[in-house]
A and B are shown apart, each in its own frame.
Chain A
Amino acid sequence: MLEAVFWANAGIAIVSALACITRRSPVASALWLIMTLFATAVMFVLLDAHFIAVLQVMVYSGAIMVLFLFVIMLLNLGDQSATDMKGWFGRVVGLALGVFVMVELWVITKVVPVDQIRLPAGELNRMTVDEGAIAPVAQVLYTTYLLPFLLTAILLLAAIAGAVVLAKREV
């Protein structure tokens, strides 16, 4: 049952991603990308990452994709008549390189470090049932990764300031 849901969403994600890179209109591309992000969120739930799935829907499908659509609207790119695809030579080279990357990654996925597996099967699911969806993530985030977590706050502040400075007409 779980596997069937997983494969269905994997199919939706892959088809939507292909539609995203082939649609001519940026708005259509953005909407297909949102579809991919939602399907990935479902896969996150099936992989026992409920909190990350919620974040995915809120941050990616919500905030970031709204930003994309907002910029497309602001620059008035909605109805592009001319395609921005490269010529057939560029497409063939792109396809060859894409297939090459996929083969490489496929080989890498086959060498999973089995001896380093720390959690027994179903352990994360049991932790989620016992402690809730957020506690297992927060436990690590606020202890082991406290300094990186605080640094992301500075990063976001820098990004806010940088975006304002770059987008202003007169600084």
Chain B
Amino acid sequence: MLLGPALGVSAILFSIGVLGVLIRRNAIIIFMCVELMLNAVNLSFVALAQQLGTDGQVFVFFVMTVAAAEAAVGFAIIIAIYRHKETLDLQNLNLLRG
């Protein structure tokens, strides 16, 4: 039974994604870390689907759709920001800082 190991690997991958978001400043790499976290969640969905029915795999399907939509819109925003500020370093994007 691979349920326990799969959930453990999923936890590790999710934490690596969180760590990446916390330690990097490049917007594109932070975006990749978000995809990594979504992927870790997909892994736990699939692992539980093996025992609780194929509903979990359908959720993975939805997560992938939303991730694709998110990537498309997110990159449009990133390109708009780059055109405006000539940088993707999140430290230089501080308009909302008081």
Q: Which residues of A contact B (CB under 8 A)?
A: 2-3, 6-7, 10, 13-14, 17-18, 20-21, 26, 29-30, 33, 36-37, 40, 43-44, 46-49, 51-52, 55-56, 59-60, 63-64, 67-68, 71-72, 74-75, 77, 80, 84-86, 90-91, 93-95, 97-99, 101-102, 105-106, 108-109, 112, 116-119, 121, 124, 127, 136-137, 139-141, 144-145, 148, 152, 155-156, 158-160, 162-167, 169
- Please name all residues of chain B whose beta carbon is closer than 8 Å to the beta carbon of A119 when the two chains form the complex: 50-53
Of B5, B46, B83, the residue contacting A10 (CB under 8 A) is B5
**Bound Cα distance A30, B28 (Å):** 9
Contact B78 A71 (CB under 8 A): yes
| Chain B nearest Cβ from A52, distance in angstroms | 5
Q: B36 contacts which chain A residues (CB < 8 A)?
A: 17, 20-21, 33, 36
Interface string of B54-90 (1 = CB under 8 A from A): 1101101110111111111101111110110000110
Q: Give the distance to chain B from A95, nearest Cβ to Cβ, in Å.
A: 7
In contact, A60 and B82 (Cβ under 8 angstroms): no
For this complex, 19 residue pairs linking A to B, each with C-beta atoms less than 8 Å apart, are A10-B9, A21-B16, A21-B19, A21-B24, A33-B32, A33-B35, A40-B13, A47-B50, A52-B42, A52-B60, A55-B60, A68-B28, A106-B8, A119-B50, A137-B58, A140-B55, A140-B58, A156-B65, A159-B72
